[in-house]
Structure 1
Amino acid sequence: MRAQMNTPLLTDIEPERAPPLLQVRQLAFARNDDPIFGPLDFHVDAGEAVLVHGANGRGKTTLLRVLAGLLPAQSGEVSIDGLPASREAVARSCALLGHLLGHKGELTAEENLRFARGLFGQRPGISPVTALAAVGLAGFEDSPARQLSAGQKKRLALARLLLVPARLWLLDEPYANLDLEGIDLVNRLVAHHLGRGGAALITSHGAYATGAVRTRTLSLDPLPANDAMETTHG
C-alpha cells in the first residue's frame, strides 16, 4: 500500500506577517552625557496609535525629534517597514507636528500647503483647498499664516498632515491650543489615518488622545522590566 503523505492545505499556511511600520531597538538619547531616555524597545504597527507618556523632562518631545531625524540618537536602531531608517525613508514616511508648526508667516494658508507639497509630495485624491476645508479652514485659503489664531495655526498644521503622503504621524501635543471641537477633530483625523493603514505616535498631557482611537501606551517613566507597553482602548 502506498504511504499517504499529509500535505498541508494552502489554507493551513500562516500568511507572512508584515514588519512593523516602525521598529525601535535599544534607542537612547543623552544631552551633555546626561541620559534623557532609553534604551527603548518598541514598535508601531500600521493601523495603530501609540501614546507616549512621561513626566516633564523624560524626553517625549526629544523622542519624536529623534525619530523624525532632527536629532541624532546616542545609540540604537530604527527601522521603517523592516528596513533601516535612512534619511530618505524618514522624509518619505514620517511627518512631525511639533511645538514649532513650521508655517511661513508671510505665505497664505494655501501657499503654505503648496510649499509643503513641493517638499514632501501629495497624497492622491486631496488638494490644499480640500485639506483646509477638512480641518475647518474653508474661507481662510488667502489668509496669511501670521494672521491666524493659535488654534487656526494648529489646524493648518493638521491640514498639512492630511496633504502629504507620510504613513507615520509623529504628533507632539497635538491638542494644545485647541478647543473641544478641535480636540474631536484631531481624534477623527487620527482615526481616519489609522483606517487607511497609517500609524501615529502621540504625546499628550491630557486624556483626550484615548477618546476615539484604540491605542497602546509607551511610558518613558521608570517601570519594571517588560511593563513599558500596555494596550488601551478608546
Structure 2
Amino acid sequence: MLVADALSLERGGRQLFDGLSFRIHARQIVRIEGENGAGKTSLIRILSGLSRYGFRGTVSRHAPMLYLGHHSAVKALLTPRENLAWHVAGESRYSEEQIDDALARVGLFGYEDVPSHALSAGQHRRVNLARLYLSTSPLWILDEPYTAIDVQGVRELEALFARHVAAGGAVVLTSHQSLAIDHPVHSLDLSLGIRT
C-alpha cells in the first residue's frame, strides 16, 4: 500500500532520520514510536504528502489514504454533525443517518447538534475519529489518535483498527503507548533507527 525509500530529514541542524526505508502492506498495523522530537509527526506528514519541510527520499502510495492529524480540526462554530459532514464531503455522499451513526459509535450520541465550542477536548477528538467509521480508504495514517481519549474510547478504537486490518486495510500510527490489539503490531522506532 505504501513504499518509503531512503527517507532523510534534517530539521534545526539535527538529523531526525536518515536512509529510512520500509513498506506498508495490507493487513498490517505499524506503530511509529520514539522520544519527543524524534520526528514521528514529521514522518507521518511525509507519508501523507503534507510535509512542509524539505526531505530526501521518496514515498509511493498505492492505495487511497485517510490522514488524521494530531489536532482535531474541529470548527468551533459548527456542530459535530456539521463538522463530520464537512470533513467527509469530498469522499462520498453520506446520509444524515450515517453521520449520526458514526458519531454515536464514538460516544457522541445526543451531542450531534451541540456547538463544538461547548464540547471537551476529548469530544473534539471523537468528532475527528468518527471519520474512521465512514472511511472507505484502505490505508489509514494517524498521528497520535489516542490523544484526549479515555480508556473505553481507546478500547473501541483498537477494536476498529483490528476490524479494519482484518478486512484488508492497513493502519500506520504514532503513539507513546503500547497497543492492546489481538493482531501483530510492527514497530518503527525512530529513537533506535530500527524496525522490529
What is the match of residue 42 of structure 1? 22
Runs of 4+ in 1 over 6 A off after TM superposition: none
Does residue 103 of the first structure (1) align with residue 74 of the second (2)? Answer: yes
Give yes or no for contact 2:159–2:181 (8 Å, CA) kept in 1: no
* 1:200-211 equivalences in 2 (<5 Å): 200-207=171-178, 209-211=179-181
Give yes or no for contact 1:169–1:199 (8 Å, CA) kept in 2: yes
Cα separation, 1, equivalents of 2:94 and 2:22: 28
Secondary structure of 1:28's match? strand
Q: How many pairs are equivalent?
A: 194
* 1:1-234 equivalences in 2 (<5 Å): 21-71=1-51, 72-81=53-62, 93-121=64-92, 127-207=98-178, 209-223=179-193, 228-230=194-196
Residue 60 of structure 1: CA displacement? Answer: 0.5
TM-score normalised by L of structure 2: 0.89
Secondary structure of 1:197's match? coil
CA offsets per residue over residues 71-109 of structure 1, 9 Å max, x none?
Answer: 15511111122xxxxxxx7xxx22222221111111111
TM-score normalised by L of structure 1: 0.76
Q: CA RMSD in A?
A: 2.1
Cα separation, 2, equivalents of 1:196 and 1:38: 33
Give yes or no for contact 1:29–1:74 (8 Å, CA) kept in 2: yes
Residue 120 of structure 1: CA displacement? Answer: 3.1
Q: What amino acid is the match of 2:184?
A: R
Residue 198 of structure 1: CA displacement? Answer: 1.3
Residue 164 of structure 1: CA displacement? Answer: 3.0
Secondary structure of 1:206's match? coil
Give yes or no for contact 1:24–1:41 (8 Å, CA) kept in 2: yes
Q: What amino acid is the match of 1:79?
A: S
Secondary structure of 2:17's match? strand
Secondary structure of 1:189's match? helix
Q: Which structure 2 segments of 5+ residues have no match?
A: none
Cα separation, 1, equivalents of 2:182 and 2:69: 21
Higher relative contact order (CA 8 A, sep 6+): 2
Secondary structure of 2:137's match? coil
CA offsets per residue over residues 82-140 of structure 1, 9 Å max, x none?
Answer: xxxxxxx7xxx22222221111111111111111122333589x821121122121221
Report percent identity of matched pairs.
38
State the structure with more CA Rg. 1
Cα separation, 2, equivalents of 1:122 and 1:25: 35
Q: Which structure 1 segments of 5+ residues have no match?
A: 1-20, 82-88
